[in-house]
Amino acid sequence: MAPLVQLATQLLISLGSFDISSWRKPCQNSASPHPETRSSFISSALSTISWGYNRMDVFGTNLDTGNLSHKWFDGYQWGPSNDALEALGVFDLSSAPTAISWGANRSDIFVVGYPPNTYLYHKYWDGHQWGPHETDWENLGGDLFYYPVAATSWGVDRIDIFGIGYDKELYHKHWDGSSWRPSDDSLEALTPGVFFKTGPTAVSWGPNRNDVFGLGEDNNLLHFYWDGSQWSKTEDFGGDFSSPPTAISWGKNRLDVFAVDAENGTLSHKYWDGYQWSGYEDLGGDSLKGQVAASSWAENRLDIVALNEDGKYYYKYWDGSQWNPSATDWYAKGGNFSSVPSAVSWGKDRLDIYGVDAAYQLAHQTWYGSGWYPESDKWEQLGGLLNPN
């Protein structure tokens, strides 16, 4: 895999918050130290990664059991089969999973546990087997809210994790290649006195760099970054948004951020060009709903997929000089979905889109370089019984 594509693939896991009001099992444990809190911000129920050419892994949550579900494509066929997903662990998840890969044949998965055990949990594929065990998880501590965490990798054997605590502040821990920091069972507070209304989204455009975004208490876009030596102060980019932001990088010193405007349901876009931040660009859309998916398979290329209130997916792309089909128009992708989309690329001129359909099955469509499979407005069903939130 080309380095740029590999970097973009590894860094696309940018998850915000989800609609707790539609979560399948509200907290009924009177011993829980945390009251149930509900949010109208919807993020992806799926996390998709690629750690190599012609390889994809998709993770979600089983609707009945709350356990982690996994499906993969190895270049020849779907595993464990065309219409089934692998069950990974007897564990009741509070958040949707977040997956990241820092190298070939490596996957790391992070979730937040169900109250009262609202810790950060981790499991990993080491190239041969699941650790710490196929049905077990590593407890990394913390006291995190229901929101999915965000993860980045800016190098081999490096992972950074960001989550929102019950105090609504941003927390962080990282794997440095030999141990978890600040410790195995704790996270560091990054934004004392700054409160987030959604889960974070995070991206890295190069070694020793992290950029983190989320929505503040007024639905405004907040930005926080690590420059290689220290954490910045929080930047307030304003705006009024109805979705968690999505952040992506297609190259060194480049950032693109997307969120749905609260007033008109269109997509807003803001970017860093290496020197300065742009204003907000209106990319159109009609009653978009929830967090959008973004992918990049080459320098100066962006693919965006969004859920509309009609339950269908819509698509647009940046070709290096302009938005297509136009600055404010979108291609209709059809379908009937219960979840917002997830997207990934394993190589040049390749895009794979996933979602949970109205029957709670995993649905898939792919751009293979000269056309869409199965068709531009048709989807293949890949089985499962998945939570759409």
Show me where the domains of the chain are located: 3-25+39-381
Choose between 358 and 20: higher pLDDT. 358
Q: How far is the C-alpha of 343 from the C-alpha of 214, rounded, in Å?
A: 20
Residue 26 pLDDT exceeds 50? no
Q: What 3-state class would DSSP assign to 66?
A: coil
Cα of first residue to Cα of last residue in the chain, in angstroms, is 32
Residue 196 pLDDT exceeds 70? yes
Q: How confident is the model at residue 286 (pLDDT cuts 50, 70, 90)?
A: confident
Residue 301 pLDDT exceeds 70? yes
Q: How confident is the model at residue 30 (pLDDT cuts 50, 70, 90)?
A: very low
Whether this prediction's pTM lies above 0.85 is answered by: yes
The confidence score (pLDDT) of residue 90 equals: 62
The confidence score (pLDDT) of residue 14 equals: 37
**Mean pLDDT confidence for 222-248:** 97
Per DSSP, 148 falls in state: P
The confidence score (pLDDT) of residue 22 equals: 31
> 12-26, 97-111, 173-187, 291-305: which has the minimum mean pLDDT?
12-26
Could you check whether the bond before residue 80 is cis, i.e. omega within 30 degrees of 0?
yes
Chain mean pLDDT for the chain: 90
Residue 172 pLDDT exceeds 60? yes
Tens of pLDDT, residues 312-345: 999 999 999 999 999 999 999 999 999 999 999 9
Q: Are 196 and 189 in contact (CB under 8 A)?
A: no
Q: Are 381 and 88 in contact (CB under 8 A)?
A: no
Residue 271 pLDDT exceeds 50? yes
The confidence score (pLDDT) of residue 114 equals: 86
The confidence score (pLDDT) of residue 92 equals: 72
Choose between 186 and 22: higher pLDDT. 186
Residue in the block written with tokens 């290689």 = 228
Q: How confident is the model at residue 41 (pLDDT cuts 50, 70, 90)?
A: low
Q: How confident is the model at residue 10 (pLDDT cuts 50, 70, 90)?
A: very low
The confidence score (pLDDT) of residue 135 equals: 86
Per DSSP, 158 falls in state: -
Choose between 287 and 22: higher pLDDT. 287
The confidence score (pLDDT) of residue 7 equals: 38
The confidence score (pLDDT) of residue 217 equals: 96
Q: Are 72 and 57 in contact (CB under 8 A)?
A: yes
**Mean pLDDT confidence for 155-182:** 97
How far is C-alpha 265 from the geometric centre of its chain's CA atoms? 20
The confidence score (pLDDT) of residue 93 equals: 80
Q: What 3-state class would DSSP assign to 5?
A: helix
Q: Are 39 and 21 in contact (CB under 8 A)?
A: yes
Which percentage of the chain shows pLDDT scores above 70? Answer: 88
**Mean pLDDT confidence for 206-215:** 98
Which residue, among 319, 250, 237, 246, has the nearest Cα to 280 in the 3D structure? 237
Any idea what the Cα angle at residue 200 is, between residues 198 and 206, rounded to 5°? 160
Q: How far is the C-alpha of 199 from the C-alpha of 5, rounded, in Å?
A: 26
Residue 181 pLDDT exceeds 50? yes
The confidence score (pLDDT) of residue 355 equals: 98
- What architecture does CATH give domain 3-25+39-381? 6 Propeller (2.120)
Residue 1 pLDDT exceeds 70? no
Q: Give the strand order in the sheet containing 255-260.
A: 246-248, 255-260, 267-272, 281-282
Indicate the length of the chain as a whole number: 389
